[in-house]
Chain A
């Protein structure tokens, strides 16, 4: 093999890879863990030690009561996240850790949004809800709570539309993710 050609090709590939690796994007990690005290602290330390901010974190029981599922959304470069996945995998209580790309997994979240709205403007609020398939789950003379579910992008879009009203409070569950088809989460 001509090593010279190999090296110059390698340089190009390496440059492109560097660019891709250092680009920031949101990753959704699913971490399957033994249900033991301290496991959440250990996992969050892996992030905080490297200066990573966790955007959302959902801990929930699984079918098998001995294990829990953590779904963690975090922004960061691919190579930074890759290190985190490797370090998470080293934790004794972690069974596995998978980075889920959007295209092969189902990502959903739920948001409750409380807006201040008087009777005359309610119609528009209902219109927005209808468009996004959101529900009103509480209604008073001056306010309503809207529950919207779906992919995080859709939830974001709905909340953006609701900003024309005064947003009083908002609670989001954070993402949950499940791999499609035969893949495991």
Chain B
């Protein structure tokens, strides 16, 4: 192998090629010059973004769709700092990502050099691991370890901060070094047999079980095993927001999403079940409500790849450490059909009594648009979202029936995630229709990436559900703060359709009347020469229900809008 005359940056790019990387997302800058220079001669395609946060979300979107780490390359100081929201988003949702940041030359470190920031220190709480390069020759080992750490166990972002003198310096080392990670043991070997036996025994006693599937089930590609398990047990399955796609939502055993804005029947099932088995979810505060009340009479089971999650939010009776798919496959031979017929009948009652719905009178309803989008795409499109009302309604009305087709910022709740994530997804899956469902607030945070989508002629379809409000916050102010609106009115919004058309090759559509929904969405579906933006001017004051106020028990779910005379207590839970 000829390493002769190679720089650190060239070695780095060679390592990325060896990892099978096709795309990197980034924005250049002084301290990153040697890395970007090395990309010129590489078959890796550089996707130049307009803001580094966009690069991180694009890599995130690509990684969620492919399950493999994606790469971000940015410069030092502000370039690196701009990625932090994206790194946090990936960290909270366990998304594999490798972030390469330029850094000032090593002799200037700590001297407040131009565009210097302590990126290694600043990002520490939001990465799975990080490196500060101190020698050109260690770059390949760090890259190899970064990819390994990022993708194995519970995935997450890994950052490598590379001073410019090392990315430009001569490389004389080995491009395929051994990893040196004595403290990292990510692979749960076969799941503990005792735990499996106990879980199987607990299941065999259950008449009203619920399986709760989280993002971990998708990361483990456990969808087939999960389907087999649910059908064998005849147990209903609910998913978290990020678990959407782990179980087909058009299946009779599907309860849809549970939690704060989950379906009433999923939450009713949680309240009435005698056993709950979480597979790859962390029982987070959006789904359990008031922790001591959550399924308190049920047998609680927790299956997770990250044993540090056991007992963190709620205490369970049985824990099983392992990869979701492997655990389910080991569990399958130990279980049989449960006597759940009365339970499934009760759940069907819940479904009949508390269906997802919306009133069609009044202004254009987000729900109706999303319902139509789901129908027109036959639930097969990749849907990405921002955060807020549109996200919850999309989760409710856009059924996810294939794994890795629902991309949403769950843990971090990052506005501005949806559109760049859709770009990343579109690069990864050119065979798929990709819709970014966003609000007018979130879209304006990362809409500069319209240029990125346009120059790459990506047929990403952006659906802006514009109520000229930060709608979810407005909803809380209406319900819990006597409708005293503060900092939620987005006056000054542009005409998004016209704005979109300022970019060459981008098409803009406006949707104002319910009667036009299908026509306009179909036009967007049929436009594939580049990105398009559908701006829907929707009802301003609509609220998302069902709703469990933060910190309240699942029993206390508001299934529909409370009477205007009802005074609601301010929620006690986190946000």
Contact = CB atoms under 8 A, between A and B. Distances in A.
Contact of A38 (B128, B132, B182, B183): B132
A94 B124 contact: no
A42 interface: yes
Contact of B130 (A34, A38, A66): A38
A9 interface: no
B515 interface: no
B308 A89 contact: yes
Nearest to A79: B311
Nearest to A1: B205
A34 B125 contact: no
A19 to B, nearest CB: 15
B124 A95 contact: no
A38 B120 CA distance: 8
A37 interface: yes
Contact of A90 (B121, B130, B306, B315): B306
Interface residues of B, number: 20
A82 B309 CA distance: 11
A89 B184 CA distance: 9
Contact of A95 (B132, B182, B306, B307): B182
A87 B183 contact: no
B183 A92 contact: yes
A91 B307 CA distance: 13
Contacts of B125: 45, 49
A33 interface: yes
A38 B123 CA distance: 12
A93 B125 CA distance: 14
A66 B306 CA distance: 27
A95 B121 contact: no
B183 A34 contact: yes
A32 B315 CA distance: 28
A119 B125 CA distance: 55
A45 B124 contact: yes
Given A33-B183, A92-B181, A93-B183, A86 B308 contact: yes
B183 A95 contact: yes
A86 B307 contact: yes
A80 to B, nearest CB: 11
A10 to B, nearest CB: 9
A92 B149 contact: yes
A184 interface: no
A83 interface: yes
Interface in A47-79: 49, 66
B308 A90 contact: yes
Interface in B105-152: 120-121, 124-125, 128-130, 132, 134, 149
A41 interface: yes
A92 B128 contact: yes
Nearest to A94: B183
A66 B181 CA distance: 11
B447 to A, nearest CB: 33
Nearest to A66: B182
Nearest to B181: A92
A41 B127 CA distance: 13
Chain A CB within 10 Å, residue with most, of B121, B124, B128, B183: B183
Contact of A83 (B121, B130, B183, B312): B312
Nearest to B134: A37
A34 B182 contact: yes
Given A86-B308, A92-B183, A37 B128 contact: no
Chain A CB within 10 Å, residue with most, of B129, B130, B308: B308
Interface string B19-62: 00000000000000000000000000000000000000000000
A40 B494 CA distance: 49
A107 B311 CA distance: 30
Interface in A130-163: none
A49 B124 CA distance: 12
Contacts of A49: 125
B123 to A, nearest CB: 11
Chain B CB within 10 Å, residue with most, of A86, A89, A91, A95: A86
Contact of A92 (B121, B184, B315): B184
A45 B132 CA distance: 18
A21 B447 CA distance: 49
Nearest to B310: A86
B124 A42 contact: yes
Contacts of B130: 38
Interface in B290-318: 306-308, 311-312, 315
A17 to B, nearest CB: 9
Contacts of B124: 38, 41-42, 45
A89 B182 CA distance: 12
Contacts of B120: 38
Name the 6 nearest CB pairs between A and B, nearest first.
Answer: A86-B308, A92-B129, A95-B183, A92-B184, A94-B183, A90-B308
Interface of B: 120-121, 124-125, 128-130, 132, 134, 149, 181-184, 306-308, 311-312, 315
9 contacts: A34-B182, A37-B132, A38-B121, A82-B311, A89-B308, A90-B308, A91-B183, A92-B181, A93-B183
Given A83-B312, A92-B181, 8 more contacts: A33-B183, A38-B130, A45-B125, A90-B306, A92-B128, A92-B149, A92-B184, A95-B183
